[in-house]
Structure 1
Amino acid sequence: MMLLRLNLRLRIFLLFAGVATACTGIVAASLYLGYFRAVEADKGAGFLFAGVLSGFGILAVAAGVWLLFDENVAKPIERIAAALRVRAHTDADVSLDAHQARYLGDLSPAIEAATGQLSKVSAEVEDVLAMKTANLMAERSLLAVLLTEIPVAIVLVSPAHRIMLYDGQAADVLGQVHVPRLNASIFEYFNETELRAACQELSEKRTEAIVKVRCARGNLTFELRLKRLSKASGYMILVEAAQARISPEAARPLIYDFDLSENEGEYEIETRPIEDLTFVVFDTETTGLTPHKDELVQIGAVRVVKGKIIEGEQLDMYINPGRSIPPASTRVHGITDDMVADAPDAAAAVCRFHEFVRDAVIVAHNAPFDMAFLHRHGKSLGLDWDHPILDTVLLSAVVFGGGEKHTLDALCERLGITVPEERRHTALGDAQVTAEALCRMLPILSSRGYRTFSEVIEQTRRHGRLLKDLN
């Protein structure tokens, strides 16, 4: 206990004093043994023996010192730095492990004291923000209710023709083509040629136009009312409920992100800031652990736009695997044969998921396993899975170091994410948890200097062996 109370500088002095003593002792012992060898044989052999023995002894001391520094200095510093970044860039109250940092003197207690004071200040600020946010959310809910009462579907489109707002009724309209998605191109839902021609009619003098436009699949026709918002902020699409077959019972949240109207230049994904990308985070449940033999039984996915999980944009699909689900697999994910009896087959589910991930970066925890099932079905369905892919196993290694555990549970614990037991080992539950982890790691990656997609990918490649070990 007395050693633990010693000053850090004194500890380091004693360590190097011990190294010097050990090296001196090794050289002295080597010379002593070499002297007796020289008496028995010849002087040259004796001194050579002494030199080799002392050299190996000093190397052993150096290796031992390195191991001590790595275990008691380097690793604790890495863990402290990672915990500080988590505290700085997320709302997680992650505690520092004082036991792991016990040889760093007063560093850990000093950091705890400083972060404690900052936490108090942050808590006061958060209370004010929480009050303001609650008011904004109440106003947003009221707006959503009012819009639902109006028998018109509303979609706001940016100058780059990307969806930046849609209400619950518009979700029904867009859903008749395929899954509504924030930041998706409006031309994925309406015929591009016809809609562009309608947009041409909007000008400084004519700010509104009523046109008939087919959907992107060509099987439906909608009468759209287009209104120009302003020269810089895009246009609005209105569809009357009567001719859009909107379900009056449908209640979906108001989905929007007005930041999408800004800085929408067409950049290659490699040069785009990581926090500006659109992600689809997904997970699967299967009949077993062999992708070329087993089958999907569930796909869950959520969308992340500009570092935020988009409420209401998710997939949760049971899949009929066309075979019995082994009891051992059911014990893991809880899915039985009866639960998937009336579900679509894997081909239909994979096609729907392919539409959902269009123009997005795919994210998963141990992505090679889940993607193996998609690639297998993609070959038979003619689907290209050429999307950029991020793996949260590798992102965890970049943020916290390759020597840590990188299971989903371990990652959530380090990021201060609480995982309800009922959500674990369900496809949507694990996808949501993985998305939360992604959103918390994005600002940490940026703070480490990995700001663009290419910079992040370059760092993840350094830890690629982790996925080989897992698979």
Structure 2
Amino acid sequence: MLTRLSLRVRVLLVFAGLAAAILAALAAALWVAGASLSGRGVPMPAMLDALALAALVAGLGALGAIAWIWFLFDRNMARPIELLAGGLRTGQTPEIEEARYLADLGPAARDAAGARARSAEALAEAIAEHATELQREKETLEAILADIGAGAVMTDAAGRVVFYNASAAHLLPGIALDRQIGRHLPAAALEAGAARLAAGASATDLTCLTAQGQRLRGRMRRVDDGMLLILHDRAPLRPAPRALIETLRRRAATLVPMLGALDGPMPPALAQAIRAEGQGLAQALRELAAATGADDASQGRAGLNELGAGLDQAPDQPRLALLADAAGVNGLLRHLDRRLRQQGLAPRLAAEAETSEARLLLSWAGAPLPMDRLETWLAEPPDPAQPELTGHEILAAHATAIWSEVQDGQARLVLPLPVVPDRADSAGLTYDFALARRGAGQARLADRTCVVFDTETTGLDPASDRIVQIAGLRIARGRLTGERFETLVNPGRPIPAGATAVHGITDAMVQDAPDMTAALTAFRHFAGEALLVAHNAPFDMGLLRHAAAETGVHFDNQVLDTILLSAMLWGQSAPHSLDALTGRLGITIEPEARHTAMGDARATADAYLRLIAALEAKGLAQFEDVLAEARRHRRLIEDANRPAAPGAQGGPPAGPAPGPAG
């Protein structure tokens, strides 16, 4: 229990105990004196008056002396030691003047801080030298990805984004680190791709629509426990010339099923000739598509395990690599399989391979599928999210056909696809991201994804004043990611001259800015579920929470206040304004950036990163521990994690806390 108390509180308790002991000793001495005097016949009233006067003089003198000594000790010993501890934990050289009564402790602390700074500088130089080579590799990788125009996104096992490039940010607006990729790409497409990878493929094709309705095509590859997506916006499955290929496809698709519609027996030689003619027509169709560039979508290389993912497959299938778009063909086969099972059938996928062609066979016991019903199913989109992409379109883009037939007493659907030479599916790029892994549930403060933000306002009352500017910076794994949010806000009322004198924002500057609803909606999207960090957080959070009734935008994120973090290191009596905090930490705020939302947010972010490192050295590494410690300082400033009651005033705190945020 005592270990959680600050040094100054412990010293106060020591002097309080000393005072109590002296008073107890004084009382015992007076009792002994009274007993002695009463035995000598001294009148009781006179004795009591004398003892009371002596007790009053001695008690007040002792208490006064103890209080004065405690004050001097607290001011010249305990408080400077607390300041030295805060400076050492944050790596800042303490001021000798503050420790002038601590003998050699002040100079020793200054020397230790200097040695630490020199060691840190040497280590930083060594790391910088090593990082230069890594930076060159990173720039080379980015140049390659930029040249091919591909968007690259990497996710972890939980589907959270851990890496993306500029092209990906263009293709997927709003993408951010530690955000679910499922917010930007349809979950069904990602799950289908994951199923194909789980079936044994090292990479597979991906075709899907973004949340904005843009069609993307690319490759999906397993990387450790996560996924690597390489995306581009080239429209997939676009057959050309459509009319000619569709005519040929329909002729090829109806040639073989005619065998089952003939009356009377047919010589086996004739049946074989007709079947061969149909297969030749399909092959001619593929050659025509290749010559006209209509088979771009089928240039992907897919294994049989990819194409049959999610289907009941016959055992001991040949190892095949087929020229096909895995997402399109797998989606079509699963669609047909689902339709057949709705008819009470139990289809099973198998394959027959020849030198240059393989036939995928969806077989079942029972009557063959009528051609008109197959045509109806092919006119449907396998993926409801892409209603224009029907089964016919998928087949046409692959320059192939599918038909129904009976073979060896089994009804089946036959889909021919060309075979490509088997090869090891190697990645075209090798790179070590050295990405630290962490679980989604970890509460270590340095591992939390944070958004450090600041607001500029029309005044100091969050219940009645309005935001005129808001800015935020994202922190992930203890570093600034480079993602930023900044916007002016039209408050819907004139900005007072006094407020403009502080932050420099005028009515003309916000005339065409987003209103409160649009600005806070955009900021809510940027912040997501991240931990919110602010300097004087009750003021900024009060503005956001009071605006919820008007905007409908709610911020239920967890919150940390850098004022409270500062108090944990330097005590409540130290100044905790943003200027004082950054001054103690050696952080420079350019004059033109001070009292701007982005400038103050950047200063707060830099301070926060140094504070959490110092708190971890103090044993406060877990978020819950920091939050519990913060609640011990509620006398300094309220806890921003507790929404203020309706109508409560939430302006700047009194006492040593700073003025309005920003």
Same fold, TM-score > 0.5, yes or no: yes
User: Does 2:232 align with 1:240?
Assistant: yes
- Whole-Å Cα distance in 2 between the matches of residues 147 and 299 of structure 1? 33
- 1:436/1:413 CA distance change after superposition, 3 Å: same
| Aligned match of 2:59 | 55
- 1:446/1:421 CA distance change after superposition, 3 Å: same
User: Does 2:142 align with 1:150?
Assistant: no
The answer to whether the 8 Å contact 1:210/1:223 transfers is: no
User: Does 2:70 align with 1:66?
Assistant: yes
The answer to whether the 8 Å contact 2:94/2:110 transfers is: yes
| Superposition deviation, residue 385 in structure 1 | 1.7
- Note the aligned Cα RMSD (angstroms): 2.8
The answer to whether the 8 Å contact 2:490/2:514 transfers is: yes
- 1:227/1:215 CA distance change after superposition, 3 Å: closer
User: Does 2:193 align with 1:198?
Assistant: yes
Structure with the greater alpha carbon radius of gyration: 2
Q: Which amino acid aligns with 2:438?
A: N
- 1:142/1:328 CA distance change after superposition, 3 Å: farther
| Superposition deviation, residue 241 in structure 1 | 4.3
- Whole-Å Cα distance in 2 between the matches of residues 243 and 343 of structure 1? 36
- 1:39/1:109 CA distance change after superposition, 3 Å: farther
Match of 1:457 among 614, 627, 638: 627
**For structure 1, which runs of at least 5 residues remain unmatched after alignment?**
1-15, 88-93, 245-255
| Superposition deviation, residue 384 in structure 1 | 2.9
| Aligned match of 2:452 | 281
| Aligned match of 2:222 | 229
TM-score by length of 1: 0.81
Higher relative contact order (CA 8 A, sep 6+): 1
- 1:393/1:228 CA distance change after superposition, 3 Å: same
| Aligned match of 1:91 | none
Which residues in structure 2 correspond to 1:275-424 (within 5 Å)?
275-311=446-482, 313-424=483-594
The answer to whether the 8 Å contact 2:216/2:234 transfers is: no
The answer to whether the 8 Å contact 2:444/2:623 transfers is: yes
Q: Which amino acid aligns with 1:289?
A: L
Q: Which amino acid aligns with 1:49?
A: L
| Superposition deviation, residue 336 in structure 1 | 1.6
Q: Deviations over 1:123-177 (max 9, x none)?
A: 33332222223333344334323322221111111121111110011011221xx
The answer to whether the 8 Å contact 1:165/1:257 transfers is: no
Q: Deviations over 1:49-104 (max 9, x none)?
A: 102220121111111111111111100100111111111xxxxxx22111111111
The answer to whether the 8 Å contact 1:291/1:369 transfers is: yes
Name the one with the larger helix percent: 1
- Structure 1 window deviating more from structure 2 (75-84 vs 378-387): it is 378-387
- 1:108/1:152 CA distance change after superposition, 3 Å: same
The answer to whether the 8 Å contact 1:274/1:442 transfers is: yes
Percent of aligned positions that are identical: 36
- Whole-Å Cα distance in 2 between the matches of residues 211 and 58 of structure 1? 84
| Aligned match of 2:284 | none
| Superposition deviation, residue 280 in structure 1 | 0.4
User: Does 2:425 align with 1:432?
Assistant: no
- Whole-Å Cα distance in 1 between the matches of residues 475 and 108 of structure 2? 37
| Aligned match of 1:445 | 615
TM-score by length of 2: 0.59
- 1:126/1:263 CA distance change after superposition, 3 Å: closer
| Superposition deviation, residue 257 in structure 1 | 7.3
State the secondary structure of the residue aligned to 1:351: helix
| Aligned match of 1:140 | 138
| Superposition deviation, residue 236 in structure 1 | 1.3
The answer to whether the 8 Å contact 1:80/1:96 transfers is: yes
| Superposition deviation, residue 39 in structure 1 | 10
- Whole-Å Cα distance in 2 between the matches of residues 372 and 389 of structure 1? 12
| Aligned match of 2:85 | 81
